[in-house]
Structure 1
Amino acid sequence: MKKFGSIVKYIVLIFASIISLFPFLWMILSTTNKAVDINAGKFMLGDQLMVNIQNMLTNDVGFLNSLKNSAIIALITTIFALILSSAAGYGFEIFKSKRKEFIFNILLLSMMVPFSALMIPLYTMFSKLNGTPFKFLGLDSLASVIIPSICTAFLIFFFRQNIKAFPKDLVEAARIDGLNEWQIFFRIYMPAAKNTYAAAAIITFMNSWNNYLWPLVALQSPTKRTVPLALSVMGASYTPDYGMMMTSIVVATIPTAIIFFVLQKQFVQGMLGAVK
């Protein structure tokens, strides 16, 4: 009976794996076929890979430029989000204050507000910057996409929960040794919480790389398009070139896939709250 249960378990897992991997396999095979073959449901290797790559590179959508824009936005957002959110989470957990739990609860409540409800205030705020000396932060700038994402309630909550496992005795010992709070944060806490930072980096980078709604509103110039916007433009034509689109999607997937596979061990440990 136990053997039968194991067989059923493996059959279910294999079936679930096939369902999960099929879209990726179909996407990769589609990069080698023409649009007409993809529409016909062809599920085998073709001979159009180089043609699709050439179309991707020479298309007037500007896919390579969109890759550069997405890389700049995702990298800057990730770096600032890790520093600011971890500092906020560290402060909420380490320092004593009568009002901190009240403020933290309000911060958590902000997670319940859908982003679509924030778009109009954000649009108004950034549009007003366009007529000031700070227009480089206004609409149609990469900064207008980066700033709303560099510190989020989720990341602050995530870091605070992981800091609960951080030995508070190390903080007290460092204070006795004469280190100030910033030195304790950068020299002691950050190296000890590398798994937490890895998990947060993956989450932040993927969210920023795949962000579509706010860049669609904030970025109007074709030269400022991000990868999701470029892919949307490719699919908006009267006769979309699905071979080129699938090739572009595969290329756009590579950065996030590399980051995840390189940091997957730290990601799992960070999500479990491991602090070394």
Structure 2
Amino acid sequence: MSKKSGKSRVINFLKYSFLTILSFVSIFPFIWMIIATTNKSVDVTRGTLIPGSYFFENLKSLLGSDLKYMTAFKNSLIIAVLTTVLAMIVSSLAGYAFEVYKTKTRDKVFNFILLSMMVPFAALIVPLFRLFSKLNNVPGLKTISLNTHGAVIIISIATAFLIFFFRQNTKTFPKDLIEAARIDGLGEFAIFFRIYMPTMKSTYAAATIVTFMASWNNYLWPLIALQSPDKRTLPLVISALGSSYTPDYGMIMTAVVIATLPTALIFFLMQKHFVAGMTGSVKG
């Protein structure tokens, strides 16, 4: 064996050893979280790393609690799905229009939208609360007033990040397809829904993952907007589980694991297109 070959093997060994250790450190919290669902609260606080036989008791306690975990799960699912679907349509339309249609004020309006990303959401809570609280008195707008799912959904369907993301990815979209479709007599909306959306499926996959996870894990605005117990989402219920005088950590870990499943499922279903979408690639 040559010295060069031996050196290469040592380098590869060190490289893969480092990556193995790093992978274990990254995945260990999830492994511990799953193990914790099978143990009693006292064993979780001791840091036990051996699976127990208390999972079904923790699950029964969770489903039987006064906080209505499954109702919160349903609320989160409704909000996350509707937010994601509407955001994909509205934000992609905006990003597509900013790139395809050229006007004198296009870049000025787009830069103004980007400036809104610099405003922290905490600074918007009071104006948003005052705005949505007044919608109760407006006929036809009660479905997006305070203490409704609409109040949580509507502020997330056209974000500056998503519009920017879709516009940047639209730069890679072949404009010749648009011209060819117009020559064939297709309308602008038909071009968007029948040509643009199927071609940019990688971009939509990446945006779907990011939007769904952000909506599913959203805590601050639902805490302010959803004041009724039967309207609460999973982050609010999990926070309430941990704020009791004597928290049941086995039950809390069970709640966290169940809450993690939808986002993990969405990611694994779309992971093939995720990297391509984030790097701006177009997949036919």
User: Which one-letter code corresponds to 2:183 in the other structure?
Assistant: I
How many Å apart are 1:11 and its aligned residue? 1.6
Per-residue CA deviations over 1:79-116 (Å, capped at 9, x if unaligned) read: 00000000001100001111101111111111111100
Question: Is 1:29 equivalent to 2:28 in the alignment?
Answer: no
Distance in 2 between residues matched to 1:68 and 1:220, nearest whole Å: 17
Selected match of 1:96 from 102, 105, 115: 102
Aligned residue runs from structure 1 range 184-199, under 5 A: 184-199=191-206
SS in structure 2 of the partner of residue 117 of structure 1: helix
Q: Which amino acid aligns with 2:277?
A: G
Q: Is 1:120 aligned with 2:126? A: yes
Gaps of 5+ in 1: none
Match of 2:3 in 1: none
Match of 1:266 among 250, 253, 273: 273
Deviations 1:189-224 (A, max 9, x none): 011111111111111000000000100111111101
Q: For residue 73 of structure 2, what is the aligned residue in structure 1?
A: 67
Question: Matched residue of 1:47: which SS?
Answer: coil
Residue number in structure 1 paired with 2:225? 218
Coordinate RMSD, CA, aligned: 0.8
- Write the deviation string for residues 225-263 of structure 1: whole angstroms up to 9, x where unpaired: 100000001001000011111011111100110110010
Q: Secondary structure at the match of 2:137?
A: coil
* 1:174 Cα deviation after fit: 0.8
Select which of 12, 16, 39 maps to 1:10.
16
Distance in 2, matches of 1:180 and 1:132, equals 36
Q: For the residues of structure 1 that align with 2:234 and 2:111, how far apart are their CA atoms?
A: 35
**1:1-276 equivalent positions in 2, closer than 5 A:** 1-133=7-139, 134-275=141-282, 276=284
Q: CA deviation at 1:273?
A: 1.3
CA displacement 1:128-175 (0-9 Å, x = unmatched): 112232222111111110010011110011111111111101111111
1:63: Cα distance to partner? 0.4
Question: What CA deviation, in whole Å up to 9, does each residue of 1:50-99 have, x standing for no partner?
Answer: 10010111111110000000000000000000000000011000011111
Q: CA deviation at 1:14?
A: 1.1
Alignment partner of 1:130: what SS? Answer: helix
Return the alpha-carbon distance in structure 1 between the equivalents of residues 143 and 168 of structure 2. 36
Distance in 2 between residues matched to 1:88 and 1:269, nearest whole Å: 21
Provide the C-alpha distance between the structure 2 equivalents of 1:73 and 1:188, rounded to a whole number of angstroms.
28
Return the letter of the residue paired with 1:207: A
Question: Aligned equivalents of 1:136 and 1:196: distance in 2?
Answer: 31
Identity of aligned residues (%): 58
Separation in 2, partners of 1:165, 1:202: 21
Which segments of 5 or more consecutive residues in structure 2 lack a partner in the other structure? Answer: 1-6
Distance 2:108 2:227 in 1: 39
Please give the alpha-carbon distance, in whole angstroms, between the structure 2 residues aligned to 1:131 and 1:236.
Answer: 35
What one-letter code is carried by the residue in structure 2 that aligns with 1:81? A
